Structure 1
Amino acid sequence: MTYKTVLQVLDANQFETDLTAEAALCAAANAHLSVLLVKVAAPPRFGDHAGLSVAWLDIQAAEIEQLEKAIEAARTTLKDVGFSFDVAGEYTEPARADDLVGERARYADVTLIGTNMDPSLRARAIEGALFYSARPVLLAPHRRSVTLLPKRILLAWNSSLESTRAAREALDMMKDAEGVNVVLVDPTASRWNGHEPGADVATYLARHGIKVTVDRLPSAGRRVDEVLNQHAIDTTADLIVIGAYGHTRLRQRIFGGVTKAMIEAPVVPVLMVR
């Protein structure tokens, strides 16, 4: 898919680094940048009810003013970038942040989320975009640039519906890339994988003119995310494409999983598709 609208979700308390670092992404791809600055409301304080009401209203008014200043600062930063953009802000309760991001993400081709965010807000933003927008999420790692025009792509493949959707979502990217490594970790011959795991998806991609290499890797006692990240480094991949939440969110939160690990510590940019 060609990305013409990028939603960038930012923490209104600490947005400058991610905003300036990722602006070049839209310039290179000739895409519109839609910036959403999110300010999470402070929880109410305990104390005298009457005094609490007045004090809390004062705090909220101050936070809304801070958000408005952040919006103006972001517009000033982007005014000379040379591509189209818009900047909006949302003041929200913590529990509402995922719904809010998901609703906004429906009107973008991809949602970009960096690492300079409150961890709780970042987690809610990612889940909101993945579960409530039917759009992919592009995760930017710390201190590494992100591109919509990657030269080398690692496609994490396990024959699941999620990895199938991810492959289809990234088809245009893979067509334009110099090479794509389809990576399977500890694959076994099965009804889903076939007698030669990875061969079917490689054939499918090759018919689209994509230059494909199939890599079947042993985990050797490592977690799947560790294998994927290391192979991305070894192959100088600009992007990992992966399906998200093959298991339920609850199970991922309790027992961990590839999605959770890739979200928490991306080594290279990750395009995540649900």
Structure 2
Amino acid sequence: MSFKTILAVVGASHGDEDLRIAADLCGQAGAHLSVLVTAWAPEPMGRYPTMTPAWVEQRDRSMQALQERVGQARDLLGRREISSDVDSVYSEVAAADYDIGERSIYCDLLLIGPDAFADADLKRQVLGGGLLQAGRPLLLIPPGTKPTLQPKTVLLAWDSRAQSARAAREALEMMSKAESVRVTMVDPTASLRGSGDEPGADVAAYLARHGINVTVDTLPSGGKTVAQVLQQHAVDVSADIIVMGAYGHSRLRESIFGGVTRSMLDETKLPVLMAR
């Protein structure tokens, strides 16, 4: 699909890098940029938590910092030739993922930039709210990478499950403009159900009907994890981005992900587009 509204979630204490990256991506896509600046209330301490004067003072400082960051973000984006808006949310810690999820409903793509990637608390809230609760596709941008929505080479991680198919559909327009798409399968098993007699053939035919230049790569794990194999292959084929399905669920307000998804969320060295 095309990305016409992109939502970037940033922390009130973060710098400008995530905003600049989001603005650049929106410029590439001709998309509107929505920025959600986040902060959450400190948790009361002690055996019988109460809102002490110190707690109230800390909360007031956080709210002031949040509003100052909103103003700075508006000033920065006002100098860019893109359509944009900036809003903020001040949440209780336990409700932050729900607040982010509600905002994510109205975007085509959700961003986790380098600063948010390095902020474990914020990343967990964005994943729980945006990816799991709202079901929005997510572009994960680790530090030191050069993200683009106009990649030359895309690695599509494929395992014949619904989540992979959802990721492929979300990335169809992007893949149709790429020079090459490498459908990559690790230790696939030929079967009547699932991968079929020729693993990768069905999805390759589907993508080819959309005018996409497809190559199917079937790789052995060779004692490595699936995430390690995918990342190494992405480097080997000079992929600009990895597209993959995300496996997990939210339980008791904790984001719980499968092994491959968790490894990619924590250790990826390339931008990853995830969908669930």
Provide the TM-score with structure 1 as the length reference.
Answer: 0.93
Which stretch shows the higher mean deviation, 61-70 or 140-149?
Answer: 140-149
Name the residue aligned to 2:182. 181
Q: How many residues align?
A: 271
C-alpha distance 49-148 of structure 1, shift in aligned 2 (>3 A): closer
C-alpha distance 187-96 of structure 1, shift in aligned 2 (>3 A): same
Residues in 2 aligned to 1:255 and 1:27: alpha-carbon distance in whole angstroms: 32
- Structure 1 residue 265: deviation in Å? 1.8
CA contact (8 A) 2:10 2:38 kept: yes
> Which amino acid is 2:70 matched to?
I
CA contact (8 A) 1:155 1:241 kept: yes
- Structure 1 residue 134: deviation in Å? 2.4
Root-mean-square deviation (CA, aligned residues, Å) is 2.0
Name the residue aligned to 2:237. 235
CA contact (8 A) 1:41 1:91 kept: yes
Task: Give percent identity, aligned residues only.
Answer: 48
CA contact (8 A) 1:22 1:145 kept: no
- Which structure 2 residues correspond to residues 75-114 of structure 1 after superposition, within 5 A? 75-114=74-113
- Structure 1 residue 127: deviation in Å? 2.1
- Structure 1 residue 194: deviation in Å? 1.1
Name the residue aligned to 2:19. 19
Name the residue aligned to 2:72. 73
Q: Deviation per CA, 1:170-200, whole angstroms, max 9, x where unpaired?
A: 1111111111000000011012111110011
- Structure 1 residue 115: deviation in Å? 3.1
CA contact (8 A) 1:253 1:260 kept: no
C-alpha distance 121-187 of structure 1, shift in aligned 2 (>3 A): same
Provide the TM-score with structure 2 as the length reference.
Answer: 0.92
Tell me which stretches of 4 or more aligned residues in structure 1 moved more than 3 Å: 45-50, 247-250, 252-256
C-alpha distance 208-56 of structure 1, shift in aligned 2 (>3 A): same
Tell me, yes or no, if structure 1 residue 271 matches structure 2 residue 273.
yes
Residues in 1 aligned to 2:129 and 2:47: alpha-carbon distance in whole angstroms: 33
Residues in 2 aligned to 1:241 and 1:48: alpha-carbon distance in whole angstroms: 47
Structure 1 regions of 5+ residues with no counterpart? Answer: none
Q: Deviation per CA, 1:20-74, whole angstroms, max 9, x where unpaired?
A: 2332111111111100111122122339988x53222222111100100010111
Name the residue aligned to 2:8. 8
CA contact (8 A) 1:94 1:121 kept: no
C-alpha distance 48-138 of structure 1, shift in aligned 2 (>3 A): closer
CA contact (8 A) 1:22 1:146 kept: no
- Structure 1 residue 98: deviation in Å? 1.1
C-alpha distance 88-188 of structure 1, shift in aligned 2 (>3 A): same
Residues in 2 aligned to 1:249 and 1:49: alpha-carbon distance in whole angstroms: 26
> Which amino acid is 2:208 matched to?
A
Which SS does the other structure have where 1:116 is aligned? helix
Residues in 2 aligned to 1:131 and 1:256: alpha-carbon distance in whole angstroms: 13
Tell me, yes or no, if structure 1 residue 122 matches structure 2 residue 134.
no
Residues in 2 aligned to 1:171 and 1:148: alpha-carbon distance in whole angstroms: 12
CA contact (8 A) 2:128 2:255 kept: no
C-alpha distance 255-93 of structure 1, shift in aligned 2 (>3 A): closer
> Which amino acid is 2:274 matched to?
M
**Residue in structure 2 matching 1:214, options 188, 203, 216:** 216
Name the residue aligned to 1:37. 37
Structure 2 regions of 5+ residues with no counterpart? Answer: none
